[in-house]
């Protein structure tokens, strides 16, 4: 479905973000892309829809070579690729519905988007998606009135509104608490399975990645150093990706942190219910 | 964490002195010379200002007559002139603000480096620079010489000044937007116009409206000033009254200007709060 061949990105400052990266994503596979900060995860997924121009190498979506298309064609390619962002990247002053409908911008002419007169089919789909992500009651709220988890749900609905053939997901949980993180990851992965949608998910939380994805690609300093199923991600592999560290100790600690956080969230919920 | 951690520095000896590092000049003697030289220059400069005390006394006397005029403002004897002047000024203010804002939007968009290509950027920045480098009075003198006395010259002057002011602030606002929102729109396959309408406009619109209200304020005050050099409006009425030594009429005009400016100030700040 997606094929990346010998992708290299060198920024104008001379920093080499990606070196000779190649991999395939078959239909319906959810890939977790892990690696330390600055390993080039964000750059890699942005090279796929050319929000960042790669320096060399090829990217194919189906049999279309994305890295060669012109400006007009690039729009048509981008609308086939949904993207979900770290800080949600919703247009804060627009309503939830407008944010979801913005997923159709690549399909409609300017006058329709300017007058907010989208075809009925697009509006039906948007209502259905908002229902699916559990935001039916917030259609006309402004995006900046929502909580973090709700915003990311709008982000997911926007990406799906595009009818994508591929999802690019950039640190979907980085600004969320542990419990919401799991809910959001679960939602993304469920939707991908429902639709047979392939996805690349950048994620720095290794445990979360292992819990949800089909395959893990590890990036270190712009090179792929691990590629395999989540079970194969052992201490040796983690050391190859992140450098040496006592992984077992960290894992126990992380489990405890997650448990604490879940308990705290429960407690808060109960306290709020009590107050109300 | 703990004091015994390896690499932690030894506890500092007692009595170790600390001084805030100087902000501008690091070398002590140079700092003394530069600051000392500045103070010396200031003292010399003040000592060269010649004050003609008898002329000051005469000025005080005229000032007193002016104050007396103020205490008995005369709204009636020149009422037709005053009304005509205010109607001209207000018309000039409103039309020039609307025209200036409309013209400044494309120029401001073109002058934002993050969305405009370099040649367009250079041209728009040049227009802004020209418009901003001349004070309104100088432009008014030019337009009065070109198009004759009257409010048309004033309208052109204020429009011209509004373009520079609004375009510069709009461009800076666009350059300061949250790029993530525009990037998300681009990722859906949106065209340049759609990115502008969906990703950028919602972020800058409240400030654009607020600045327009502020500029309406400024334009009214400026319309009083440029009338003095012949560009019509209330400034012309005021100028004539001063030339005739009719300080009571001048006082009436000034009082009305103060009232209108205050009304505009309060209503615009109220409106700006509402649209945030």
- Looking at the structure, tell me whether residues A52 and A174 fall in a common domain: yes
- Looking at the structure, tell me whether residues A215 and A267 fall in a common domain: no
Instruction: Give residue-wise pLDDT tens across range B215-230.
Output: 998 999 888 888 888 8
The pTM is what?
A: 0.80
- The whole-number average pLDDT for the span B91-118 is 94
Owning domain of residue A259: 246-276
Domain-embedded: residue B60: no
Query: Which residues of chain B are within 8 Å of residue A49 when distances are taken between CB atoms?
Result: 187
Closest CA to B76 of B253, B261, B200: B253
- The whole-number average pLDDT for the span B206-220 is 89
Instruction: Give residue-wise pLDDT tens across range B48-58.
Output: 888 888 888 88
pLDDT at A276 over 70: no
Closest CA to A2 of A55, A52, A44, A51: A44
What average pLDDT does chain A have?
Answer: 88
- Looking at the structure, tell me whether residues A97 and A121 fall in a common domain: yes
Confidence of residue A272 (pLDDT cuts 50, 70, 90): low
pLDDT at residue A104, as a whole number: 95
With an 8 Å Cβ cutoff, the interface of chain B facing chain A consists of: 178, 180-181, 183-191, 193-194, 197-199, 202-203, 205-206
Residue B246 DSSP class: -
- Looking at the structure, tell me whether residues A124 and A181 fall in a common domain: yes
Q: Is A259 helix (H, G, I), strand (E, B) or coil?
A: helix
- Looking at the structure, tell me whether residues A172 and A265 fall in a common domain: no
- Tokens 């009595």 belong to which residue? B15
Domain of residue A185, CATH code: 3.40.50.300
A114 touches chain B (CB under 8 A): yes
Spatial distance between the Cα atoms of B77 and B58, rounded to a whole number of angstroms = 29
Say which of A78, A93, A98 has its CB closest to residue B189. A78
Instruction: Give residue-wise pLDDT tens across range A208-249.
Output: 888 899 999 999 988 999 999 998 888 888 888 888 777 676
Query: How close A186 comes to chain B (CA, Å)?
Result: 22
pLDDT at residue A72, as a whole number: 87
pLDDT at residue B151, as a whole number: 87
What average pLDDT does chain B have?
Answer: 88
Domain-embedded: residue B34: no
- Looking at the structure, tell me whether residues A263 and A135 fall in a common domain: no
A92 to B185: CB separation less than 8 angstroms, yes or no: no
Owning domain of residue B231: 76-275
* Least-confidence region, from A225-229, A270-274, B41-45: A270-274
Instruction: Give residue-wise pLDDT tens across range B124-165.
Output: 999 999 999 988 889 999 999 999 888 899 999 999 999 999
pLDDT at A78 over 90: yes
pLDDT at A46 over 80: yes
- Looking at the structure, tell me whether residues A180 and A114 fall in a common domain: yes
Q: How far apart are the first and last CA of chain B?
A: 45
* Least-confidence region, from A5-9, A264-268, B103-107: A264-268
pLDDT at B1 over 70: no
pLDDT at residue B37, as a whole number: 95
Domain-embedded: residue B165: yes
A93 to B194: CB separation less than 8 angstroms, yes or no: no
Query: Which residues of chain B are within 8 Å of residue A91 when distances are taken between CB atoms?
Result: 181, 184-185, 198-199, 202-203
A75 to B190: CB separation less than 8 angstroms, yes or no: yes
Spatial distance between the Cα atoms of A21 and B172, rounded to a whole number of angstroms = 38
- Looking at the structure, tell me whether residues A264 and A232 fall in a common domain: no
Integer-rounded Cα Rg, in Å, for chain B is 28
Domain count for chain A:
2
Instruction: Give me the interface pTM, i.e. the ipTM.
Output: 0.84
Output the six-digit token pair for A15.
């920093």
How many percent of chain A have pLDDT more than 70?
Answer: 91
Instruction: Give residue-wise pLDDT tens across range B21-37.
Output: 888 878 888 889 999 99
pLDDT at A90 over 80: yes
Nearest-CA residue of chain B relative to A73?
A: B189
pLDDT at residue B276, as a whole number: 66
B234-243 and B79-110 helices, crossing angle to 10°: 140
Q: How far apart are the first and last CA of chain A?
A: 50
- Looking at the structure, tell me whether residues A154 and A226 fall in a common domain: yes
pLDDT at residue A236, as a whole number: 84
A106 to B190: CB separation less than 8 angstroms, yes or no: yes
- Looking at the structure, tell me whether residues A186 and A275 fall in a common domain: no
pLDDT at residue A1, as a whole number: 85
pLDDT at residue A59, as a whole number: 93
Test the A interface: residue of B173, B185, B187, B198 with most A CBs within 10 Å: B187
How many percent of chain B have pLDDT more than 90?
Answer: 45
Q: Within 10 A of A12 (CB to CB), how many other CB atoms are there?
A: 5
Residues A226, A233 contacting (CB under 8 angstroms)? yes
pLDDT at residue A205, as a whole number: 86
Spatial distance between the Cα atoms of A262 and A257, rounded to a whole number of angstroms = 9
pLDDT at residue A238, as a whole number: 87
Query: Which residues of chain B are within 8 Å of residue A75 when distances are taken between CB atoms?
Result: 189-191
- The whole-number average pLDDT for the span A120-125 is 95
Domain count for chain B:
1
pLDDT at residue B4, as a whole number: 46
Output A251 or A177, whichever has higher pLDDT.
A177
pLDDT at residue B2, as a whole number: 44
Domain of residue B189, CATH code: 1.10.3720.10
B205 to A75: CB separation less than 8 angstroms, yes or no: no
B203 to A92: CB separation less than 8 angstroms, yes or no: yes
pLDDT at B210 over 60: yes
- Looking at the structure, tell me whether residues A266 and A189 fall in a common domain: no
- Looking at the structure, tell me whether residues A23 and A159 fall in a common domain: yes
């Amino acid at each position: 479905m997606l094929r990346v061949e010998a992708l290299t990105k060198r920024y104008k400052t001379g920093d080499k973000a990606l070196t000779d990266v190649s991999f395939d994503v078959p239909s319906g596979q959810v890939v977790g892309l892990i690696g330390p900060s600055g390993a080039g995860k964000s750059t890699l997924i942005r090279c796929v829809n050319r929000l960042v121009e790669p320096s060399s190498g090829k990217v194919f979506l189906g049999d279309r070579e994305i890295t060669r298309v012109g400006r007009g064609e690039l729009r048509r390619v981008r609308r086939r690729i949904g993207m979900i962002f770290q800080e949600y990247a919703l247009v804060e002053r627009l309503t939830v519905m407008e944010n979801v409908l913005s997923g159709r911008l690549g399909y409609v002419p300017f006058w329709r988007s300017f007058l907010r007169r989208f075809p009925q089919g697009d509006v039906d789909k948007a209502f259905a998606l908002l229902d699916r992500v559990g935001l039916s009651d917030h259609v006309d709220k402004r995006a900046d009135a929502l909580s973090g988890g709700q915003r990311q749900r709008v982000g997911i609905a926007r990406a799906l509104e595009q009818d994508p053939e591929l999802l690019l997901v950039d640190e979907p949980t980085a600004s969320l608490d542990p419990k919401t993180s799991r809910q959001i990851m679960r939602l993304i992965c469920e939707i991908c399975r429902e639709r047979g949608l392939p996805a690349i998910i950048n994620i720095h939380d290794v445990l979360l990645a292992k819990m949800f994805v089909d395959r893990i690609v590890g990036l270190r300093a712009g090179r792929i150093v691990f590629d395999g199923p989540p079970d194969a991600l052992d201490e040796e592999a983690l050391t190859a990706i992140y450098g040496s560290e006592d992984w077992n100790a960290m894992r126990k600690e992380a489990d405890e942190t997650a448990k604490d956080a879940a308990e705290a969230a429960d407690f808060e919920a109960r306290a709020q219910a009590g107050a109300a | 964490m703990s004091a015994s951690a390896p690499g932690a520095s030894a506890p500092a000896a007692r009595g170790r002195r600390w001084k805030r590092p100087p902000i501008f000049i690091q070398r002590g003697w140079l700092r003394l010379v530069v600051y000392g030289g500045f103070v010396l220059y200031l003292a010399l400069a003040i000592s060269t200002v010649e004050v003609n005390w008898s002329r000051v006394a005469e000025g005080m006397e005229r000032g007193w007559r002016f104050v007396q005029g103020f205490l008995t403002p005369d709204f009636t004897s020149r009422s037709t002139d005053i009304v005509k002047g205010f109607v001209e000024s207000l018309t000039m203010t409103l039309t020039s603000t609307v025209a200036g804002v409309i013209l400044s939007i494309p120029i401001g968009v073109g002058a934002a480096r993050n969305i405009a290509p370099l040649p367009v950027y250079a041209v728009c920045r040049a227009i802004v620079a020209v418009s901003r480098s001349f004070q309104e009075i100088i432009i008014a003198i030019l337009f009065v010489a070109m198009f004759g006395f009257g409010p048309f010259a004033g309208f052109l002057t204020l429009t011209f000044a509004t373009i520079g002011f609004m375009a510069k602030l709009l461009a800076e606002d666009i350059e300061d937007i949250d790029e993530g929102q525009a990037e998300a729109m681009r990722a859906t396959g949106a065209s340049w116009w759609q990115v502008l309408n969906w990703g950028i406009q919602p972020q800058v619109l409240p400030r654009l409206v607020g600045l327009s209200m502020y500029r309406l304020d400024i334009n009214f005050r400026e319309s009083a000033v440029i009338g003095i050099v012949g560009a019509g409006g209330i400034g012309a009425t005021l100028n004539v009254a001063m030339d005739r030594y009719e300080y009571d009429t001048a006082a009436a005009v000034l009082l009305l200007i103060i009232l209108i400016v205050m009304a505009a100030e309060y209503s615009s700040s109220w409106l700006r709060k509402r649209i945030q």
